[in-house]
A and B are shown apart, each in its own frame.
Chain A
Amino acid sequence: MNPVVELTRVSKTFGDIRAVSEASLSVARGDFLTVVGPSGCGKTTLLRMIAGFETPSSGEIRINGDRVDVVPPYRRSIGMVFQKLALFPHMTAAQNIAYPLKMRRFAPRVIPGLVKQYLELVQLGGLGDRRPHELSGGQQQRVAIARALVFSPDLLLLDEPLSALDRKLREEMQLEFRRIQRELAVTTINVTHDQREALVMSDQIVVMDQGVIQQAATPQALYRQPANRFVAHFLGVTTLLDGRVVRVGDDGDVAVQVGDTVLQARGVGQALVTGAPVDCAIRAERIGMAAHGQPGLDNTVDGVVLQRIFEGDRVVYVVRVPALGDAVLSLFDRDADVHETTTEGQSVRLAWQARDLMVFAKQT
């Protein structure tokens, strides 16, 4: 079966700016794909090309197997929720939802029923007569979702519609999106710069940086097996270290020298050669902190606590390690007893497993 959307080496330039560069991706029917990346990396441009508001400078876009280069946006069966929602201010919620049905020439007698059904789907039953400005931010979101979905589009596009909401409402709406998306089994491409949202909501994640797709994988694979330094750094709280390969073993085992210390590590992605400069990355939650060396952990270093940040369920320690060339490591600790006894300026011992220290060949 054809993927619902398929991009092949799609690029878009605005004058000198290369907003999207040779992007290829495909989304299978019913999947939820999230495109994530820092601000300005080309996410919106990618979506606007799929929706038909921009024409690619090169490459091709297929929807349900057909090239769509010359298909105007209003002939594409795509629902979109915009970054600033773009609800029609002069129409009520119900009229907003009915609008695509009218424009797409649904039989007039089915429209009221569909509008009612979708108002209920997004839990806005009874609020259909309100204008957008009479609804709360979360309720406006729901109207925008209903408007994008009511005509059963082949594809749903979400351009960071949640970014304007406060954190609690955002997390609520993430689950709401996911529920509706599963219920209707609608193929979805979501765009965000919130890594947590990407991990929580998606079947597939595409990480972009400066217009280039860095990696496409499932959330778990992306988190566990980042393809490069950028992806490793973008997801989670990660410390990056500069190192040099000392020895390459089997199964990706490597030894790297960082500062004056040789660490046991795991090679990721490209093959490594002895002597090559590398990027090493370690996630904050994989570093353990103990007063004395913990047996069974492959790497142990000593450091001094620079900063101790209380975040409620955890404490983030920022630790300077002289033996790693004065590198500064971030780590979490969830043990409330340890929080009481550890203070800034105190010496601590850090330890982690070899497989938790990921090593990437330096990108040129």
Chain B
Amino acid sequence: MTDQLSKRVVLWGLVWFSIVTLSLPTVIIIGASFTSGDIIRFPPEGFSLRWYWELWQLSDFTNALLRTLYVAVICTLISLPVGTLAALATVRYRLRFRRSIQVYLLLPFTIPLVVSGLSMMILFGEMRILGQLWPVGLGICIINLPFMIWSVSASVNAIDPDLENAAMNCGAPPVQTFLTVTLPAVMPGVITGGLLSFILAFNEFLVSLFLTDSRTVTLPVQIYNSIRSIITPDLAAVSVLYILIALIAVWLLDRLVGLEIFLRSK
């Protein structure tokens, strides 16, 4: 009896400890962002949307935000077809050198971001595309591709290998089979991977730091630049923006995929 009790106490203690430590920074930052004072502090001084308004007024930040969105969209648009096809090809079809290809595709994950960032900076510099915005999206896409591939691979592994045979048996030529059966069946993984790519690109700091300059600076880099000068509550407001976007992504995931995965579980 006491054993049971102490077990429960320990378990609940751990749960609450995790919840508090994980959410405390978020709570503090959200609170601080609504301050009406001039410095970040918790608990906030009064309540106002002042710093959100200030942020909105700062063209540096809004431009950086727009650029970040652009980069994230580029990254997602490249990840979607590349990641999906790579996952399908390596998991599904008996390619030669399948294992080596799999390892190769996951390679970016094992290389420190500093190294990838630096090498891409040099490469893009040589190609004379450094200073434009789209290569930032491409670079971030490359380093985050493993997440996309993993996500789709999980879906591919979950589908019955006879599903495509069934489609062909129903009279569907290979292209139709792919479009009407294979693709919808891996859709949950594609959506998850796509949202993941978007969020990761939105947050990516280190690689962006290497690939951007003052004209193409993205939001994470902009924030970094700001903390080096003065720390004002508008930074808290930006952080809240990030939290908001993450929440929207989770919500979307739940709406689009949570449902799908649920439907697919037999």
Q: In the assembly, what is the distance between CA of A78 and CA of B263, in Å?
A: 29
User: Interface SS of chain B: helix, strand, loop or mixed?
Assistant: helix
B184 partner residues in chain A, CB cutoff 8 A = 88, 90
By a CB distance below 8 angstroms, the chain B residues around A73 are 165, 168-169
- Distance A73 CA – B167 CA, assembled complex (angstroms): 10
User: Which of the residues B170, B177, B265 comes within 8 Å of A133, measured between beta carbons?
Assistant: B265
Minimum Cβ distance to chain A for residue B262 (Å):
9
CB of A107 within 8 A of chain B? no
Does B143 make an interface contact (CB < 8 A)?
no
Max chain B Cβ within 10 angstroms of own Cβ: one of A75, A100, A103, A148: A103
Q: Does A72 contact B (CB under 8 A)?
A: yes
A82: chain B residues at CB < 8 Å are: 160, 162, 165-166
A90/B185 in contact, CB under 8 A: yes
Name the B residues within 8 Å of A83 (CB-CB). Answer: 162
Instruction: Determine the residue in chain B with the shortest Cβ distance to A135.
Output: B266
Give the total of B residues in contact with A, Cβ under 8 Å. Answer: 24
Report the bound CA distance from A84 to B158 in whole Å. 13
Contacts of A53 in B (CB 8 A): 165, 168
List the B side residues contacting A151 at CB < 8 Å.
170-171
Residue contact B166 to A88, C-beta cutoff 8 Å: yes
Compute how far the CA of A224 lies from the CA of B167 in the bound complex, rounded to whole angstroms. Answer: 41
- How many chain A residues touch B (CB < 8 A): the figure is 28
Residue picked from A80, A88, A100, most chain B C-beta under 10 Å: A88
B171 touching A86, Cβ below 8 Å: no
In the complex, the chain B residue whose C-beta lies closest to that of A97 is B170
30 A–B pairs (Cβ distance < 8 Å), ordered by A: A72-B168, A73-B169, A74-B169, A74-B171, A75-B171, A79-B169, A80-B165, A80-B166, A80-B169, A82-B166, A84-B162, A86-B160, A86-B162, A86-B163, A86-B166, A88-B166, A88-B167, A88-B184, A89-B263, A89-B264, A89-B266, A90-B187, A99-B167, A99-B170, A99-B180, A103-B171, A104-B170, A104-B171, A131-B263, A133-B264
Chain B residues with a Cβ under 8 A of chain A: 160, 162-163, 165-173, 176-177, 180-181, 184-185, 187, 260, 263-266
12 further A-B contacts with Cβ under 8 Å, apart from A52-B168, A80-B169, A103-B167, are A73-B168, A78-B169, A80-B166, A84-B160, A86-B162, A89-B264, A90-B184, A90-B260, A99-B172, A100-B169, A100-B170, A103-B176
